[in-house]
Structure 1
Amino acid sequence: MKKLDSIKSINLGVIELSDDLSIEEVTEIFIRINSQGVVLSNADFAMSKISSDELFGGSLIRRIIDYFCHFWERPMDYESIIQNDEFFANSEESKKIKWVIKDNQDVYIPDYTDVLRVAFTYKFKRGKISDLVSLLSGRDFNTRENKESIAKESFEKLKEGVEDFVNEVNFKRFIMIIQSTGIINKSLVRSTNALNFAYALFLSLREKKVDPNLIEKIVRKWVVLSFLTSRYSGSPESRFESDIRRFDKLNPEEYLKQVEEGELSDAFWNNLLVSNLESSSTINPSFSVFIMAQIKNNARGFLSEHIIVKSLVEEKGDIHHIFPKNYLKKNGINNRSMYNQVANYVYTQSEINIRIKDKAPNIYMKEVLDQINKGEAYYGSIGSKDDLKHNLYENAIPEEFVEMDVEDYLNFLDKRRRLMSQYIKDFYFSL
């Protein structure tokens, strides 16, 4: 009790800011002061600005965003929140986001920063969240004055953007487009910002009444392009603003084509992507796109007759080594980053991997060919040489792999990276 009572005597520091400071200066002070504890962002400042508004419905906007994001993580809290928040319970917005509590997708689970970024980019055709704070304060960027009319208009536009974001039809159609690229769960998402921009683009094209089939095509290709080129890695705000304005002012198909010609040239497919696949990390974006391509194409797991990669990913199946790890280590390749190359990874059934054990490819693949000749199933159930050839294609594995041993490992990696790159290229242009 004494500790609780002592709170009354704690001195709290108060910093008074001059009323002639610009909103940019206030934002910077806000962020610097709070950097000593939990680091706060422009999105945190924007949410504070929204919730403190008493004139233009900021409190309701804040609730829509907070509750929408909260229900993805804890749908069971819906009833208690509705019972305890009478203001929100009596609003139409509470009904508009109720659908979330029954949804079970895990491809795109947005937080409040994501909602703000998408709604702002889509409605304002800007990328910097600090600009949102300025606009909500009534900032006129031409005269550098704060005007109530601008603040009112900005809150109205933001509310429209947030409501479009949380709209069930919009959100589910967007998720269906994303899933149609082969992204079936969040394990394949290597850039949430890529999804954020894709959703802003989707909403923007819908607002412009672009043909739905064309919207699907553009958004699908843009997501994959963004992953492959790490377009929104690091600080994405300037890129967001540049891209959304070009999509808005130019013919969307033409702008996509311009970016493809600049970013996805022959040099990209034949050299840069091959180089990007020289990695030991399974979270490598290029490798993730390769898995997406396999899922999209209903490719089967390595040496599987019926089990597809999609099922293995959904069941959180393991990625295994084509050249077994222990086999490589026993033969002098002890560097972890060498035997764990993504070009040596493949989705396959655990029972197949167990039977491969530590054998050289030219040993276990001879056994696969023997089983085909004898009609006996041991490594999966592939029953013909043509089917085996197709299975190697589905997994971007060179045919000559069946005769390889440790001496061919580096050559194998190079050949497979090139086949993976071609596989991804074919996938991209089929979207």
Structure 2
Amino acid sequence: MSIQKYSINNSPIQTILTWIQSREIAVPEIQRPFVWDSSKVRDLVDSLYRGYPIGYLITWRNPQVKLKDGTASQGKRILIDGQQRVTALMAALLGHEIINNDYKRTKIVIAFQPQEEKFEVYNPAIAKDNSWIPDISKIILMEVKVPKFVKEYCKHNSKADEDKIYENIELLRGIINNPLGIIELNSDLDIETVTEVFIRINSQGKALSQADFAMSKIAANEIYGGNTLRKSIDYFCHLAIVPEFYKQILDLDKNFTETEYFKEMAWLKDEKDDLYDPLYTDMLRVSFTSEFKRGRLQDLVALLSGRNFETRTYEENIAEQSFELLKIGIMKFMNKTNFQRFLMIVRSSGFIDVSMLRSQNVLNVAYMVYLMLHSQKENPNKIETFVRRWLVLSILTGRYSGSPESRIDFDIKKIDEIGIGKYLASVEESELSEAFWSAGLPSQLNTSVASSPYFGVYLASQVKTNDKGFLSKDITVKDLIELRGDVHHLFPKHYLKKRGLHRGKYNQIANYVMMQSEINIAVGDQEPAKYFSEILEKIREGKPSKYGAISDIETLQENFKAHCIPDGMENNTIENYDGFLEARRKLMALKIRDYYFKL
């Protein structure tokens, strides 16, 4: 006989909102951007008005925790699915502010046309139209007396049926009495089972976001300061993107400004670097993994619940220790010296712009490695080398693409067990063999995707060695990247298009080069055989060409080597294009190899 793992109840929306406001149900602080657009909020209200179902909320009551006196304590409900709907309801019905995608506080105001029973997002046109009630929250919160309001409305809308308007406004006010289903998962379920239940219930089959689940769990615990800890994560991520938010915290959250968390993150108010702007998921993962030496966030939820993995029971002292350890990890993550030194290491690897790093996971793991080595008081010079190499190795091997948790868990435990030096050497031996450099990497460079991580590493190698731009005497690749200089083609794009080549063929990485726009304009649509020949001819005469300021053969050869230009370009036409691509890919791979082993 199967065991029921959940119960289903219906409660009026008003009751649920009251529970949330009184913290009976733990909902994360509304500090992260609200991902629904306003029209979706409008549609949700319209569905409620018409009596349509709006789905279930899924909650999980904290598991029973053994207290020191041997008794058991049961915590609050944690909302693990339905946060967006709850936020939408609080915004539309109660007039609460939300944070938009630009991290600005704003309101989503829903208007109602009682004659046609239509809802719309408030806009300037509605503001000028007397037939609309501009903000339904005023009605829901009973800030107006309905009979008086209806009479006033009908005075400005002479064709309106007073009885009908009254009926529709009462219907609107009644939506807070509509039932909303709550699926409450049993408190004795472990995190693995909760996750499985969620996946099976969810109509779209999406896996539960372990980070969201963990953040809800943190926010639910006020005994060990989880609510303040949770707020520090949101505020840090917000400040990293919008330093001006600092003043809002000072003005609106006086209590938080007295905490040690606020003092630790205050430096962000002057921070403009956007190379690594972590989201709450990144910050939580890095802090947890670097301190707990575990890579699976579901383990964090279990530990914060007091889970004893050996006895499979829940104990208060484990929950207390876990919150304290997570706090330590968060504080280390936010520390100005740690964060800025890590960014310095990343930049010293040649990655000077966020466009060169397409994977946040590789940055996350590199920061984990940095924090672990720093805590172990490893030699600072060795920390720099190990972090740089792990970062680049991760990119080159696609180590954390896809679903990375298992790989992160394995790597961190190995690094903790045998040390970063030994583990890195073993990974290099198995994954960065000669075959990788001579065949594997050239094959990966056979792509037309300019955002390819391999091209990012190639550019980093040029920045690291302070290479000049193609045919430039003074302007560096670093300058061109920082000034958003264009990536241009050695075999001009239009030259190849005119000869019938498609985008995937002419936009090959091996055909890309960082080049000043004025030099590219001078090259025009000419084939390499023509413009390379002209360059060499001018150099023999000891003069700079119209293709740049280089005027001697030695500097030109250095420039060609820096950009992995194959020999014989002065003879290359369309017939040589495939051979050119193959030769340049091999040279680019060798340049990346030399760069890697000098990190």
Quick check: TM above 0.5? yes
CA separation in 2, counterparts of 1:285 and 1:240? 19
Mean Cα deviation higher: 400-409 or 370-379? 370-379
Q: Is the contact between residue 83 and residue 89 of structure 1 (CA under 8 Å) also seen in structure 2?
A: no
CA separation in 1, counterparts of 2:182 and 2:492? 64
Structure 2 CA distance for partners of 1:414 and 1:298, relative to 1, 3 Å = same
Pairing 1:265–2:433 present: yes
Structure 2 CA distance for partners of 1:376 and 1:185, relative to 1, 3 Å = closer
Amino acid aligned to 2:297: I
TM-score (norm 1): 0.96
If asked which structure has higher relative contact order (CA below 8 Å, sep 6+), I would say 1
Pairing 1:119–2:296 present: no
Structure 2 CA distance for partners of 1:51 and 1:38, relative to 1, 3 Å = farther
Which of 463, 470, 489 is residue 302 of structure 1 equivalent to? 470
Equivalent residues in 2 for 1:342-353, closer than 5 Å? 342-353=509-520
Amino acid aligned to 1:268: F
* Paired positions, count: 430
Match of 2:400, SS?
coil
Amino acid aligned to 2:525: D
Partner of 1:363: 530
Pairing 1:84–2:252 present: yes
Moved over 3 A (4+): 27-40
Partner of 2:323: 155
Pairing 1:341–2:508 present: yes
Measured against aligned partners, the alpha-carbon deviations of 1:14-36 in whole angstroms (never above 9, x if no partner) come to 22332332232224445665665
5+ residue gaps, structure 2, are 1-138, 140-168
Partner of 2:598: 430
CA separation in 2, counterparts of 1:215 and 1:31? 40
Pairing 1:103–2:249 present: no
Measured against aligned partners, the alpha-carbon deviations of 1:289-339 in whole angstroms (never above 9, x if no partner) come to 00000011111111111111111111111111100111122233x221111
Match of 1:13, SS?
strand
CA separation in 1, counterparts of 2:308 and 2:578? 60
Deviation at 1:185, TM superposition (A): 1.3
Which of 369, 380, 384 is residue 201 of structure 1 equivalent to? 369
CA separation in 1, counterparts of 2:172 and 2:382? 62
Partner of 1:228: 396
Deviation at 1:402, TM superposition (A): 2.2
Structure having the larger proportion of residues in helix: 1
CA separation in 1, counterparts of 2:200 and 2:292? 27
Amino acid aligned to 1:371: K
User: CA RMSD, aligned part only?
Assistant: 1.6
Which of 333, 344, 347 is residue 165 of structure 1 equivalent to? 333
Measured against aligned partners, the alpha-carbon deviations of 1:353-396 in whole angstroms (never above 9, x if no partner) come to 11111101010111112332252441110111111111110101
Structure having the larger proportion of residues in strand: 2
Q: Is the contact between residue 195 and residue 208 of structure 2 (CA under 8 Å) also seen in structure 1?
A: no
TM-score (norm 2): 0.70
Partner of 1:277: 445
Amino acid aligned to 2:511: N
Partner of 2:497: 329
- From the CA coordinates, give the structure whose radius of gyration is larger: 2
**How high is the sequence identity, in percent, across the aligned residues?**
50
Amino acid aligned to 2:237: C
CA separation in 1, counterparts of 2:206 and 2:422? 44
CA separation in 2, counterparts of 1:125 and 1:81? 33
Equivalent residues in 2 for 1:138-149, closer than 5 Å? 138-149=306-317
Match of 1:317, SS?
coil
Mean Cα deviation higher: 374-383 or 213-222? 374-383
Match of 2:290, SS?
helix
5+ residue gaps, structure 1, are none
CA separation in 1, counterparts of 2:328 and 2:277? 20
Amino acid aligned to 2:423: Y
